[in-house]
Amino acid sequence: MFHGFLQRKGDASKMRLLFGAVLFAVLVIGLSPLGAMAQEAAEDAGPTALDAMFTANNIWMMLSAGLVFIMHLGFGTLESGLTRSKNTVNILFKNTYIVCLGILTYALCGFNIMYPGDFNGYFAFPGFGLPLPENGLTPDYASVGYTYWTDFLFQAMFAATCATIVSGAVAERIKLSSFMIFSFFYVTFIYTIAGSWKWGGGWLDEKGFYDFAGSTLVHSVGGWGALAGVILLGPRKGKYVDGEMRPIPGHSMPLAMIGVFLLWLGWFGFNGGSVLSADPALTSLTLVTTCIAAAAGGLASMFTSWAISKKPDLSMSLNGILAGLVGITAGADQMTVVSSTIIGVVAGVIVVFAVIFFDRIKLDDPVGAVSVHLVCGIWGTLAVGIFADGYTVGTQLLGVVAYGVFSFVSAMIIFGVLKVIMGIRVSEEEEVEGLDYGEHGMSAYPNFESSYLR
Protein backbone atom coordinates (compact mmCIF):
# COMPACT_ATOMS: atom_id res chain seq x y z
CA MET A 1 0.00 0.00 0.00
CA PHE A 2 2.80 2.37 0.94
CA HIS A 3 4.60 1.63 -2.32
CA GLY A 4 1.44 2.18 -4.28
CA PHE A 5 0.88 5.51 -2.56
CA LEU A 6 4.33 6.70 -3.68
CA GLN A 7 3.71 5.55 -7.20
CA ARG A 8 0.39 7.36 -7.36
CA LYS A 9 1.89 10.60 -6.13
CA GLY A 10 5.16 10.19 -8.04
CA ASP A 11 6.87 12.32 -5.44
CA ALA A 12 10.28 10.92 -4.44
CA SER A 13 10.82 13.75 -2.00
CA LYS A 14 7.92 12.51 0.11
CA MET A 15 9.64 9.13 0.49
CA ARG A 16 12.82 10.80 1.67
CA LEU A 17 10.81 12.95 4.06
CA LEU A 18 9.00 9.94 5.50
CA PHE A 19 12.16 7.94 6.06
CA GLY A 20 13.80 10.97 7.64
CA ALA A 21 10.90 11.29 10.06
CA VAL A 22 11.15 7.63 11.04
CA LEU A 23 14.91 7.94 11.61
CA PHE A 24 14.40 11.11 13.70
CA ALA A 25 11.81 9.33 15.85
CA VAL A 26 14.16 6.41 16.45
CA LEU A 27 16.94 8.76 17.50
CA VAL A 28 14.66 10.71 19.81
CA ILE A 29 13.42 7.54 21.51
CA GLY A 30 16.94 6.14 21.75
CA LEU A 31 18.22 9.29 23.41
CA SER A 32 15.27 9.71 25.73
CA PRO A 33 15.13 8.30 29.31
CA LEU A 34 12.66 5.75 28.02
CA GLY A 35 15.20 4.52 25.48
CA ALA A 36 17.93 4.39 28.11
CA MET A 37 15.70 2.35 30.38
CA ALA A 38 14.96 -0.07 27.54
CA GLN A 39 18.68 -0.47 26.86
CA GLU A 40 19.42 -1.13 30.52
CA ALA A 41 16.64 -3.70 30.67
CA ALA A 42 18.12 -5.49 27.67
CA GLU A 43 21.54 -5.56 29.27
CA ASP A 44 20.11 -6.85 32.53
CA ALA A 45 18.30 -9.61 30.71
CA GLY A 46 21.57 -11.30 29.62
CA PRO A 47 25.02 -11.75 31.19
CA THR A 48 27.59 -9.03 30.71
CA ALA A 49 30.96 -9.81 29.17
CA LEU A 50 32.44 -9.83 32.67
CA ASP A 51 29.91 -12.35 33.94
CA ALA A 52 30.35 -14.52 30.87
CA MET A 53 34.13 -14.57 31.34
CA PHE A 54 33.74 -15.35 35.04
CA THR A 55 31.36 -18.20 34.30
CA ALA A 56 33.59 -19.68 31.59
CA ASN A 57 36.68 -19.52 33.79
CA ASN A 58 34.87 -21.03 36.75
CA ILE A 59 33.47 -23.91 34.68
CA TRP A 60 36.91 -24.70 33.28
CA MET A 61 38.43 -24.70 36.76
CA MET A 62 35.73 -27.02 38.10
CA LEU A 63 36.21 -29.34 35.13
CA SER A 64 39.96 -29.30 35.76
CA ALA A 65 39.36 -30.23 39.39
CA GLY A 66 37.39 -33.24 38.15
CA LEU A 67 40.21 -34.23 35.80
CA VAL A 68 42.76 -34.05 38.61
CA PHE A 69 40.43 -36.11 40.79
CA ILE A 70 40.33 -38.90 38.20
CA MET A 71 44.13 -39.08 38.43
CA HIS A 72 43.75 -40.85 41.77
CA LEU A 73 42.00 -43.70 39.98
CA GLY A 74 44.95 -43.72 37.61
CA PHE A 75 47.42 -43.96 40.47
CA GLY A 76 45.43 -46.81 42.01
CA THR A 77 45.27 -48.86 38.84
CA LEU A 78 48.89 -48.16 37.91
CA GLU A 79 50.25 -49.13 41.33
CA SER A 80 48.13 -52.25 41.61
CA GLY A 81 49.00 -53.32 38.07
CA LEU A 82 52.75 -53.02 38.69
CA THR A 83 52.62 -55.00 41.93
CA ARG A 84 51.54 -58.55 42.80
CA SER A 85 47.90 -59.54 42.96
CA LYS A 86 48.14 -60.49 46.64
CA ASN A 87 48.60 -56.81 47.53
CA THR A 88 45.94 -55.27 45.29
CA VAL A 89 43.30 -54.58 47.94
CA ASN A 90 45.91 -52.96 50.15
CA ILE A 91 47.04 -50.60 47.41
CA LEU A 92 43.49 -49.66 46.42
CA PHE A 93 42.60 -49.09 50.07
CA LYS A 94 45.54 -46.73 50.54
CA ASN A 95 44.60 -44.73 47.46
CA THR A 96 40.99 -44.49 48.63
CA TYR A 97 42.12 -43.33 52.07
CA ILE A 98 44.48 -40.70 50.65
CA VAL A 99 41.79 -38.96 48.61
CA CYS A 100 39.36 -38.80 51.53
CA LEU A 101 42.09 -37.70 53.92
CA GLY A 102 43.48 -35.06 51.58
CA ILE A 103 40.16 -33.34 50.97
CA LEU A 104 39.13 -33.23 54.64
CA THR A 105 42.48 -32.14 56.07
CA TYR A 106 42.82 -29.51 53.35
CA ALA A 107 39.42 -28.17 54.37
CA LEU A 108 40.30 -28.36 58.05
CA CYS A 109 43.53 -26.36 57.87
CA GLY A 110 45.65 -27.21 54.82
CA PHE A 111 44.16 -24.60 52.50
CA ASN A 112 44.76 -21.87 55.06
CA ILE A 113 48.34 -22.98 55.71
CA MET A 114 49.15 -23.07 52.00
CA TYR A 115 47.50 -19.74 51.20
CA PRO A 116 47.77 -17.70 54.40
CA GLY A 117 47.76 -14.25 52.82
CA ASP A 118 50.36 -11.84 54.14
CA PHE A 119 52.89 -13.82 56.21
CA ASN A 120 56.59 -14.12 57.01
CA GLY A 121 57.24 -16.19 53.89
CA TYR A 122 57.95 -19.43 55.73
CA PHE A 123 54.93 -20.42 57.80
CA ALA A 124 51.59 -19.04 58.96
CA PHE A 125 48.42 -20.51 60.37
CA PRO A 126 45.40 -18.23 59.85
CA GLY A 127 43.03 -20.68 61.51
CA PHE A 128 40.80 -23.68 60.93
CA GLY A 129 37.98 -24.16 58.44
CA LEU A 130 36.97 -22.46 55.22
CA PRO A 131 35.76 -18.97 56.12
CA LEU A 132 34.26 -17.44 53.00
CA PRO A 133 35.88 -14.08 52.15
CA GLU A 134 33.58 -11.13 51.40
CA ASN A 135 34.26 -11.40 47.67
CA GLY A 136 34.57 -15.18 47.56
CA LEU A 137 31.67 -15.88 45.20
CA THR A 138 32.12 -12.90 42.90
CA PRO A 139 34.38 -12.11 39.94
CA ASP A 140 36.45 -9.96 42.28
CA TYR A 141 37.77 -12.98 44.20
CA ALA A 142 40.33 -14.14 41.65
CA SER A 143 40.38 -11.42 38.98
CA VAL A 144 37.37 -12.77 37.11
CA GLY A 145 38.82 -16.27 37.45
CA TYR A 146 36.74 -18.43 39.76
CA THR A 147 34.99 -18.55 43.11
CA TYR A 148 36.52 -19.29 46.50
CA TRP A 149 34.88 -22.72 46.55
CA THR A 150 36.31 -23.61 43.15
CA ASP A 151 39.72 -22.43 44.28
CA PHE A 152 39.59 -24.74 47.31
CA LEU A 153 38.30 -27.70 45.32
CA PHE A 154 40.98 -27.46 42.63
CA GLN A 155 43.81 -27.09 45.14
CA ALA A 156 42.45 -29.90 47.34
CA MET A 157 42.74 -32.31 44.43
CA PHE A 158 46.48 -31.62 44.36
CA ALA A 159 46.97 -32.10 48.09
CA ALA A 160 46.61 -35.88 48.20
CA THR A 161 48.83 -36.49 45.19
CA CYS A 162 52.12 -36.27 47.09
CA ALA A 163 51.07 -39.06 49.48
CA THR A 164 49.86 -41.17 46.55
CA ILE A 165 53.37 -40.99 45.11
CA VAL A 166 54.72 -42.35 48.39
CA SER A 167 52.14 -45.15 48.34
CA GLY A 168 53.54 -46.75 45.20
CA ALA A 169 57.16 -46.63 46.31
CA VAL A 170 56.52 -48.34 49.67
CA ALA A 171 54.02 -50.85 48.32
CA GLU A 172 53.91 -54.53 49.32
CA ARG A 173 55.66 -54.23 52.69
CA ILE A 174 54.51 -51.18 54.68
CA LYS A 175 52.09 -51.41 57.60
CA LEU A 176 48.77 -49.88 56.69
CA SER A 177 48.39 -48.05 60.01
CA SER A 178 51.88 -46.55 59.74
CA PHE A 179 51.26 -45.36 56.20
CA MET A 180 47.96 -43.79 57.20
CA ILE A 181 49.58 -41.82 60.03
CA PHE A 182 52.48 -40.76 57.80
CA SER A 183 50.07 -39.58 55.11
CA PHE A 184 48.13 -37.49 57.61
CA PHE A 185 51.17 -35.49 58.70
CA TYR A 186 52.73 -35.29 55.25
CA VAL A 187 49.60 -34.09 53.45
CA THR A 188 48.33 -31.83 56.23
CA PHE A 189 51.56 -30.04 57.11
CA ILE A 190 54.61 -30.82 54.98
CA TYR A 191 52.97 -30.39 51.58
CA THR A 192 51.03 -27.28 52.58
CA ILE A 193 53.94 -25.52 54.28
CA ALA A 194 56.15 -26.26 51.28
CA GLY A 195 53.41 -25.06 48.93
CA SER A 196 53.13 -21.74 50.73
CA TRP A 197 56.75 -20.92 49.93
CA LYS A 198 55.91 -20.53 46.23
CA TRP A 199 52.19 -20.70 45.49
CA GLY A 200 51.25 -18.94 48.72
CA GLY A 201 53.54 -16.00 47.97
CA GLY A 202 56.34 -17.08 50.31
CA TRP A 203 60.09 -16.60 50.29
CA LEU A 204 60.83 -18.67 47.18
CA ASP A 205 58.20 -16.80 45.22
CA GLU A 206 59.88 -13.53 46.18
CA LYS A 207 63.22 -14.87 44.93
CA GLY A 208 61.75 -15.62 41.51
CA PHE A 209 61.53 -19.41 41.74
CA TYR A 210 59.03 -20.76 39.22
CA ASP A 211 56.98 -23.94 39.28
CA PHE A 212 53.86 -23.61 37.18
CA ALA A 213 51.93 -26.73 38.21
CA GLY A 214 54.13 -28.69 40.58
CA SER A 215 57.15 -30.55 39.17
CA THR A 216 58.74 -29.74 42.51
CA LEU A 217 55.89 -28.60 44.75
CA VAL A 218 53.83 -31.73 44.13
CA HIS A 219 55.94 -34.40 42.43
CA SER A 220 59.34 -33.86 44.00
CA VAL A 221 57.83 -33.29 47.42
CA GLY A 222 56.09 -36.65 47.04
CA GLY A 223 59.24 -38.17 45.56
CA TRP A 224 61.39 -37.11 48.52
CA GLY A 225 58.86 -38.66 50.89
CA ALA A 226 58.89 -41.83 48.81
CA LEU A 227 62.70 -41.98 48.91
CA ALA A 228 62.70 -41.66 52.70
CA GLY A 229 60.17 -44.47 53.02
CA VAL A 230 62.09 -46.76 50.66
CA ILE A 231 65.32 -46.22 52.61
CA LEU A 232 63.82 -46.92 56.04
CA LEU A 233 61.65 -49.83 54.92
CA GLY A 234 64.25 -51.77 53.01
CA PRO A 235 63.58 -53.91 49.93
CA ARG A 236 60.87 -56.50 49.50
CA LYS A 237 61.72 -60.06 50.40
CA GLY A 238 63.32 -61.78 47.42
CA LYS A 239 64.14 -58.61 45.52
CA TYR A 240 67.90 -58.71 46.09
CA VAL A 241 69.46 -62.14 46.64
CA ASP A 242 73.19 -62.88 46.81
CA GLY A 243 73.98 -59.41 45.54
CA GLU A 244 71.80 -59.74 42.48
CA MET A 245 68.58 -57.99 41.58
CA ARG A 246 65.64 -60.25 40.85
CA PRO A 247 62.68 -58.72 39.03
CA ILE A 248 59.29 -59.01 40.74
CA PRO A 249 56.79 -58.55 37.88
CA GLY A 250 53.49 -56.84 38.39
CA HIS A 251 50.35 -58.90 38.00
CA SER A 252 48.45 -56.83 35.41
CA MET A 253 49.98 -54.77 32.65
CA PRO A 254 46.49 -53.88 31.34
CA LEU A 255 45.74 -52.21 34.68
CA ALA A 256 49.09 -50.40 34.55
CA MET A 257 48.38 -49.08 31.06
CA ILE A 258 44.87 -47.98 32.02
CA GLY A 259 46.38 -46.15 34.98
CA VAL A 260 48.94 -44.27 32.89
CA PHE A 261 46.39 -43.14 30.32
CA LEU A 262 44.01 -42.04 33.07
CA LEU A 263 46.88 -40.02 34.51
CA TRP A 264 47.63 -38.52 31.10
CA LEU A 265 43.98 -37.55 30.78
CA GLY A 266 44.03 -36.06 34.26
CA TRP A 267 47.06 -33.99 33.39
CA PHE A 268 44.85 -31.93 31.07
CA GLY A 269 43.32 -30.58 34.26
CA PHE A 270 46.52 -30.72 36.32
CA ASN A 271 48.41 -28.42 33.95
CA GLY A 272 45.54 -26.88 32.01
CA GLY A 273 43.73 -25.89 35.18
CA SER A 274 46.90 -24.34 36.59
CA VAL A 275 46.46 -21.53 34.09
CA LEU A 276 43.77 -20.51 36.62
CA SER A 277 41.46 -19.32 33.88
CA ALA A 278 39.97 -20.46 30.58
CA ASP A 279 42.29 -18.16 28.64
CA PRO A 280 42.15 -19.73 25.14
CA ALA A 281 45.72 -19.03 24.07
CA LEU A 282 47.51 -19.97 27.28
CA THR A 283 45.34 -22.98 28.05
CA SER A 284 45.71 -24.47 24.59
CA LEU A 285 49.47 -23.86 24.61
CA THR A 286 49.76 -25.57 27.98
CA LEU A 287 47.82 -28.62 26.83
CA VAL A 288 49.89 -28.91 23.66
CA THR A 289 53.25 -28.71 25.46
CA THR A 290 51.98 -31.20 28.04
CA CYS A 291 50.95 -33.76 25.42
CA ILE A 292 54.10 -33.31 23.36
CA ALA A 293 56.34 -33.87 26.40
CA ALA A 294 54.37 -36.97 27.36
CA ALA A 295 54.62 -38.45 23.87
CA ALA A 296 58.32 -37.61 23.61
CA GLY A 297 58.99 -39.13 27.02
CA GLY A 298 57.18 -42.30 26.10
CA LEU A 299 59.14 -42.80 22.89
CA ALA A 300 62.47 -41.89 24.46
CA SER A 301 61.97 -44.33 27.32
CA MET A 302 60.70 -46.99 24.94
CA PHE A 303 63.79 -46.98 22.74
CA THR A 304 66.28 -46.36 25.54
CA SER A 305 65.10 -49.38 27.53
CA TRP A 306 64.91 -51.43 24.33
CA ALA A 307 68.54 -50.64 23.56
CA ILE A 308 69.64 -51.60 27.07
CA SER A 309 67.60 -54.75 27.67
CA LYS A 310 67.33 -55.82 24.02
CA LYS A 311 63.57 -56.18 24.49
CA PRO A 312 60.78 -53.58 24.29
CA ASP A 313 59.62 -52.95 27.87
CA LEU A 314 56.02 -51.76 28.28
CA SER A 315 56.43 -50.74 31.92
CA MET A 316 59.41 -48.52 31.05
CA SER A 317 57.48 -47.00 28.17
CA LEU A 318 54.56 -46.19 30.45
CA ASN A 319 56.86 -44.66 33.04
CA GLY A 320 58.45 -42.65 30.23
CA ILE A 321 55.09 -41.05 29.50
CA LEU A 322 54.74 -40.12 33.17
CA ALA A 323 58.33 -38.87 33.20
CA GLY A 324 57.57 -36.50 30.33
CA LEU A 325 54.42 -35.29 32.08
CA VAL A 326 56.24 -34.66 35.35
CA GLY A 327 59.11 -32.95 33.54
CA ILE A 328 56.93 -30.46 31.63
CA THR A 329 54.73 -29.58 34.59
CA ALA A 330 57.05 -26.91 36.02
CA GLY A 331 57.05 -24.84 32.84
CA ALA A 332 54.20 -26.04 30.64
CA ASP A 333 52.96 -22.49 30.12
CA GLN A 334 56.41 -21.21 29.16
CA MET A 335 57.64 -23.72 26.61
CA THR A 336 57.64 -23.99 22.85
CA VAL A 337 56.98 -27.14 20.88
CA VAL A 338 60.73 -27.69 20.49
CA SER A 339 61.62 -27.12 24.16
CA SER A 340 58.74 -29.29 25.39
CA THR A 341 59.92 -32.07 23.09
CA ILE A 342 63.46 -31.82 24.45
CA ILE A 343 62.19 -31.84 28.03
CA GLY A 344 60.12 -34.95 27.35
CA VAL A 345 62.97 -36.78 25.59
CA VAL A 346 65.46 -36.06 28.37
CA ALA A 347 62.92 -37.12 31.01
CA GLY A 348 62.19 -40.34 29.13
CA VAL A 349 65.89 -41.20 28.96
CA ILE A 350 66.83 -40.32 32.53
CA VAL A 351 63.90 -42.22 34.04
CA VAL A 352 65.30 -45.46 32.58
CA PHE A 353 68.75 -44.86 34.03
CA ALA A 354 67.24 -43.70 37.33
CA VAL A 355 65.34 -47.00 37.70
CA ILE A 356 68.54 -48.93 36.96
CA PHE A 357 70.54 -46.78 39.39
CA PHE A 358 68.16 -47.24 42.32
CA ASP A 359 68.09 -50.99 41.69
CA ARG A 360 71.89 -51.11 41.74
CA ILE A 361 72.06 -49.38 45.12
CA LYS A 362 69.30 -51.73 46.36
CA LEU A 363 66.57 -49.18 46.88
CA ASP A 364 63.42 -51.11 46.03
CA ASP A 365 60.71 -49.02 44.39
CA PRO A 366 58.06 -51.35 42.91
CA VAL A 367 56.49 -48.79 40.58
CA GLY A 368 59.43 -46.47 39.85
CA ALA A 369 57.82 -43.56 41.72
CA VAL A 370 61.11 -42.07 42.92
CA SER A 371 62.58 -42.19 39.41
CA VAL A 372 59.49 -40.66 37.79
CA HIS A 373 58.39 -38.08 40.32
CA LEU A 374 61.58 -37.10 42.12
CA VAL A 375 64.27 -37.37 39.45
CA CYS A 376 62.14 -36.08 36.59
CA GLY A 377 60.53 -33.46 38.85
CA ILE A 378 64.01 -32.06 39.52
CA TRP A 379 64.84 -32.13 35.81
CA GLY A 380 61.61 -30.34 34.87
CA THR A 381 62.19 -27.63 37.46
CA LEU A 382 65.74 -26.97 36.27
CA ALA A 383 64.53 -27.01 32.66
CA VAL A 384 62.55 -23.83 33.35
CA GLY A 385 65.84 -22.03 33.97
CA ILE A 386 67.29 -23.48 30.76
CA PHE A 387 64.45 -22.94 28.28
CA ALA A 388 62.11 -20.25 29.68
CA ASP A 389 62.86 -16.55 29.44
CA GLY A 390 63.33 -14.62 32.67
CA TYR A 391 64.33 -17.53 34.91
CA THR A 392 67.76 -18.80 35.94
CA VAL A 393 69.05 -22.27 36.69
CA GLY A 394 70.52 -20.94 39.94
CA THR A 395 67.18 -19.80 41.30
CA GLN A 396 65.49 -23.00 40.19
CA LEU A 397 68.26 -25.03 41.85
CA LEU A 398 67.73 -23.09 45.06
CA GLY A 399 64.09 -24.17 45.06
CA VAL A 400 64.99 -27.79 44.33
CA VAL A 401 67.46 -27.89 47.22
CA ALA A 402 65.13 -26.10 49.66
CA TYR A 403 62.22 -28.41 48.93
CA GLY A 404 64.49 -31.44 48.93
CA VAL A 405 65.98 -30.75 52.35
CA PHE A 406 62.64 -29.83 53.94
CA SER A 407 60.65 -32.72 52.44
CA PHE A 408 63.25 -35.45 52.84
CA VAL A 409 64.20 -34.54 56.40
CA SER A 410 60.54 -34.21 57.39
CA ALA A 411 59.66 -37.58 55.87
CA MET A 412 62.64 -39.26 57.54
CA ILE A 413 61.57 -37.85 60.90
CA ILE A 414 57.93 -38.97 60.51
CA PHE A 415 58.84 -42.43 59.25
CA GLY A 416 61.64 -42.71 61.82
CA VAL A 417 59.38 -41.91 64.76
CA LEU A 418 56.77 -44.36 63.49
CA LYS A 419 59.42 -47.04 63.05
CA VAL A 420 60.50 -46.65 66.68
CA ILE A 421 57.02 -46.39 68.18
CA MET A 422 54.95 -48.90 66.20
CA GLY A 423 57.07 -50.24 63.36
CA ILE A 424 56.55 -49.49 59.70
CA ARG A 425 57.04 -52.90 58.08
CA VAL A 426 54.74 -55.91 58.14
CA SER A 427 56.00 -59.26 59.37
CA GLU A 428 57.82 -61.60 57.01
CA GLU A 429 54.92 -64.06 57.13
CA GLU A 430 52.41 -61.34 56.25
CA GLU A 431 54.58 -60.09 53.40
CA VAL A 432 54.87 -63.58 51.91
CA GLU A 433 51.15 -64.29 52.28
CA GLY A 434 50.16 -60.89 50.96
CA LEU A 435 48.93 -57.70 52.59
CA ASP A 436 45.43 -58.30 51.30
CA TYR A 437 45.03 -61.22 53.69
CA GLY A 438 47.17 -59.89 56.51
CA GLU A 439 45.84 -56.32 56.62
CA HIS A 440 42.35 -56.69 55.17
CA GLY A 441 41.33 -60.34 55.37
CA MET A 442 40.17 -60.35 51.77
CA SER A 443 41.36 -60.76 48.20
CA ALA A 444 40.98 -58.69 45.07
CA TYR A 445 40.49 -61.86 43.02
CA PRO A 446 38.83 -64.46 45.29
CA ASN A 447 37.48 -66.60 42.46
CA PHE A 448 40.97 -67.16 41.10
CA GLU A 449 42.73 -67.99 44.35
CA SER A 450 41.98 -71.41 45.79
CA SER A 451 43.87 -70.53 48.96
CA TYR A 452 41.27 -67.95 49.90
CA LEU A 453 39.36 -70.13 52.33
CA ARG A 454 39.40 -67.99 55.48
CATH of the domain at 359: 1.10.3430.10
Tally the domains of the chain: 1
The string of DSSP letters for 234-259 reads -PPTTSEETTEE-----S-HHHHHHH
Structural domain containing residue 352: 49-440
In a domain, 367, yes or no: yes
In a domain, 6, yes or no: no
Mean pLDDT per block of 10 residues along the chain (454 residues) reads 38 41 36 39 58 93 97 97 97 97 96 95 94 88 92 94 93 97 97 97 97 97 97 95 90 97 98 96 98 98 96 96 98 97 98 97 96 98 97 98 98 98 96 94 81 41
The pLDDT of residue 44 is: 52
The pLDDT of residue 171 is: 97
In a domain, 20, yes or no: no
In a domain, 37, yes or no: no
The whole model's pTM is what? Answer: 0.87
134 CB contacts (<8 Å, ≥6 apart)?
none
In a domain, 96, yes or no: yes
Q: Which of 133, 123, 130 is nearest to 105 (CA)?
A: 130
In a domain, 448, yes or no: no
In a domain, 422, yes or no: yes
Backbone angles phi, psi at 53, to 5 degrees: -65, -45
In a domain, 27, yes or no: no
For the chain, give me the number of helices (H) and strands (E)? 21, 2
